[in-house]
Structure 1
C-alpha cells in the first residue's frame, strides 16, 4: 500500500501540473476562438483522440502482465511495439475514412478537413502506452511523470504562440499536435534509458506462443479502452453531430472540468493494476481500501464542482460558456462514480476477467450513445451529461456484481482471513467485497 500511494502520488502530481497548465491554455483558446470556433477545435481534437483510442491497444498492460510474469520485458515490449505499429497502420486508414465522410455527420467546414486528418496522423504516431508500460513495470512513476509534464508545457507554449501569431483553429490544433509528438518522444527517451529496447524482439507471435490467452487478453483490453474513448471523445463528437459546434465546444469545457475525476479514476487504475498483478494474494484488500478512499474523494470533488464550478467557468471561458454549469456538475457526479469503480475494474482485469470488464462497460456505454439524441433534445448539454452519468453508474454496479461472482476473488478473501489468524471459511460463504 505504501508503494501504491507513492506511485499514485507521482501520477497525481502529473495530473495536478496538467490541471495547473490547463488554467493557462484553456482560457487562451476559448477567449481567442469564441464558442463556435472553439467548437470546431473541440471536434477536431476529439476526432483525433477518438481514432487513436479506437486503434490503440492498451500495450502498457501487456508489458506489465507478461513482463512481470515469465516472458520478460524484452519479449513483452517487442509484442507491444508490434501492436503499436499495427495501430498506426489501421488508425491511418480509419482516419482517412472518417475524415472523408466527416461532413456527412459533423459540422466541419471544408478548409479544416486536411487539418483534421493531419492531427489524426500525428496522434497515431504519438502512441506512447508501451514506454509508459516499461516505466510502470519497474514502478518508475517519478520518471514517467517528469516525461509526461512535457505535454501540458508544450500546450501552454503552443497556445501562447497561436494566440500571438496564428489565432485560428489551425494554430491551436497544431499546438496540440506538437504536444502529442513531444511527450511521446520524451517518454521513449526516458524508457530507453531505463530498459534496453531490443528491436529484434518485435513480433506478433512470440508472446501468443507462450501464453494461450494472449490474444483474448489483447482484444478484451483493447475493447475496454475503446469504450473509455467512446465514453468521452465519441460522446463529444456525437454532441457536435446532433447539437452543432457551439454545443460541442460548451460540452467540451463542461467535460474538461466536470470529468476531471474520470481522469483521476484512470490514474487510480493505472497505479493499482501493477500492484494487483504483483500482489495477487492481497488484491482484494488493496481494491477495497482504494474504493473506500475514492468514495470520500468523490464526494468532496462533487461538492467542489457544485460550489466552485461557476467561478471555474468564469475563469476559464467567456460568458457564453456559463450556461454549461449544470452539465459540468452532473459530469462531476459521473466522474465520482467512475472514481469509485476504478479499483473494481482493475481488480476484474487483474483476475483475468478483462472480457467480463469489457461487457460490463459496453452495455451502458452503447445504451448512452443510443439515447444521446433523445437526451439532447430533452435537455441539451444537461441531457447528454445525464446520459454519461447513467452509463457510469450502470457500469460500476456491473463491476461490483461481477466481483461478487468471482470465485478467484472469493478465495483471496479466505486467504486474507487465514493469514490474519481467523478461521478458514468456505469460499462460497465468504463475502467477497465490502466497501
Structure 2
C-alpha cells in the first residue's frame, strides 16, 4: 500500500478529499447540534413537520435540477486545459442557464402543487402558506454551475469552506431559538435563511474565482450547447440520474410521513442523519474522484487502478466510522436528542447498510461516465427507485420505521448491482479490444 501514495493522481485526490473532510467534520458537528436543539425545542411532531417542509423543497429541487457541475467538468475542464477559453465560457454559461431555468420552473411548479399534496405528506393546512414561501429557495438551491467552476479550478478548499456555512449558521441560530423558546415558524425561517446564505456563498466564490483568472467577461446564462459534443443529451441524462439520486433522501422522508406519520418522518430523519455520517469519508472521496478520473484515459491502467485504490481506502475508513456509530448510536440519540428520539435506533441500524454498500461501490458511476456510458447510472437509479417504491408501502405498513429503512436499503442495493453489472460488461469490452 505504501507504493500507492507515489501515484500523483491518488495524492491529488486525497489532498482534495482532505479539504472536504475537514469541512464536513465541522459541518457534521453543526448538523447534530442543529437537530438536537431543534428537536428538543419543537418536540417530535413539530420537528417532523419542519423536516417534511424542508424535504419537500429538497425533493422538488432534486427531481428537476440539472447536476450542472458535471457539464462544467466534462466540457469546460478540457477546454480550459487546451486553452479553448470561448468553449470554457460557453460550458459555464450553459450550466448557469440550466440551473436558473430549471430552478425557476421548479419553484413555480412546487408552489402550485404543494396545496394539493400537503395533506398526503402530513403537512398541516395551516403550515401550507409558509411551506409555499419556503419554495422561494429553489432557483438558487444546489448552485451546480458554481460548484463546477470551483472544481475545474481545483478549489476544493473553497468548496470545503462553503460546506460549513449552512450547517454552522443553522446550528448557531437553532441554539438561540432553543434558548429563546422560538416558535415553529421561527425555526422554519432559520432553515430558510441558512440555506439561502450557503447557496449565495457558493455563487460568490465561483464569481470571484472566475474574476481572479480573468475568465468572467463574456459568460452569459444560455441554453445553447453548440460545440459541446452531445451537450444536451449529456445534460438531460445527468439531470435525470442526479434528480433521482438527490431525491432519494427527501422522498424517503416524505413517504415515511405519508405511510406512517410526521413524527415517524422526524425519527427517520434523525436516524438517516446519523447513519449518513458513516458515509462521509466516501462522500469526500467521491467528490474529488470524478474530476480526477475524467483527466485520465479509460483505455489505460491508471483510472482502473485509481478506482481500486480509492475503493479500498474508502472501505477501511467507512467501516471504522460505521462500527463507532453502530455501538454508540443509541447513547448518542439519548444524550443529543432526548429519550423520545431513542426510537430511531432500530431503523438507524438498518440504514447503516447503505453507507456500508457505498464505501465499496461509489466510484462506479464516475467510471461509467468516463467510459462514455452516461445513461447506465440513470437506468440503474430507476431500477433502484422502482424497487424502493414497490417495497416501502408493504414493508412500512408491516414493520413500521424498520420496514421503511429496509425498503430504502433494498433500493440502493438494486441500483448498485445494476451499475456494477454495466461497468463489468464495459470493462470486458475494453479488454477485448486491447
TM-score (normalizing by structure 2): 0.90
| Alignment-derived partner of residue 7 in structure 2 | none
Deviations 1:203-237 (A, max 9, x none): 211xx221341112111111111111332110100
Secondary structure, in 3 states, of the residue corresponding to 2:375? helix
- 2:203 matched residue in structure 1: 188
2:352 counterpart SS class: helix
Please, which of 18, 32, 38 is the counterpart of residue 47 of structure 2?
38
4+ aligned runs moved over 4 Å, structure 1: none
Deviation of residue 339 (structure 1)? 2.6
- Contact (CA 8 Å) 2:290, 2:366: kept in 1 or not? yes
Quote the residue 1:338 is aligned against.
Answer: 358
Task: Provide the rounded CA distance (Å) in 1 between the counterparts of 2:311 and 2:57.
Answer: 32
**Conserved? CA contact 1:148–1:186, under 8 Å:** no
- Is 1:277 aligned to residue 294 of structure 2? yes
* Corresponding residue of 1:59: 68
Matches within 5 A, 1:230-249: 230-249=247-266
Separation in structure 2 between the aligned mates of residue 171 and residue 286 of structure 1, nearest angstrom: 47
SS in 2 for 1:111: helix
- The unaligned stretches of length 5 or more in structure 2 are 1-9
Query: Among residues 27, 30, 41, which one is paired with 2:36 in the alignment?
Result: 27
1:124 match: secondary structure: coil
The answer to whether the 8 A contact 2:278-2:322 is kept is: no
- Residue pair 1:34, 1:318 contacting (<8 A) in 2 also: no
369 and 169 in structure 1: CA distance in 2 versus 1, 3 angstrom threshold: farther
CA distance in 2, matches of 1:429, 1:86: 42
What residue in structure 2 maps to residue 102 of structure 1? 117
Q: CA deviation at 1:163?
A: 2.4
2:223 to 189, 198, 204: 204
Q: Mark the runs of 5 or more structure 1 residues left unpaired by the alignment.
A: 412-426, 431-435
Structure 1 residue 113 and structure 2 residue 132: aligned? no
Q: Any residues of structure 2 matched to 1:291-302 within 5 Å, and which?
A: 291-302=311-322
What is the distance in 2 between the residues matched to 1:429 and 1:351? 14
Answering whether residue 393 of structure 2 is matched by residue 373 of structure 1, we say yes
Give the distance between the partners of 2:167 and 2:58, measured in 1 at CA. 16
1:364-412 CA distances to partner (integer Å, 9 max, x unpaired)?
Answer: 22211122111111211111111111112222222221111115x864x
User: Are 1:50 and 1:234, in contact at CA under 8 Å, matched by a contact in 2?
Assistant: yes
Q: Distance in 2 between matches of 1:295 and 1:353?
A: 25
Coordinate RMSD, CA, aligned:
1.9
Distance in 2 (CA, whole Å) between partners of 1:216 and 1:22 is 37
Partner of 1:74: 89
Equivalent residues of 1:103, 1:109 under 8 A apart: yes
Are residue 178 (structure 1) and residue 198 (structure 2) matched? no
SS in 2 for 1:201: coil
Q: Which residue of 1 aligns with 2:382?
A: 362
- Give the Cα–Cα distance (whole angstroms) in 2 for the partners of residues 369 and 262 of structure 1: 23
The number of aligned residues is 412
SS in structure 1 opposite 2:66? coil
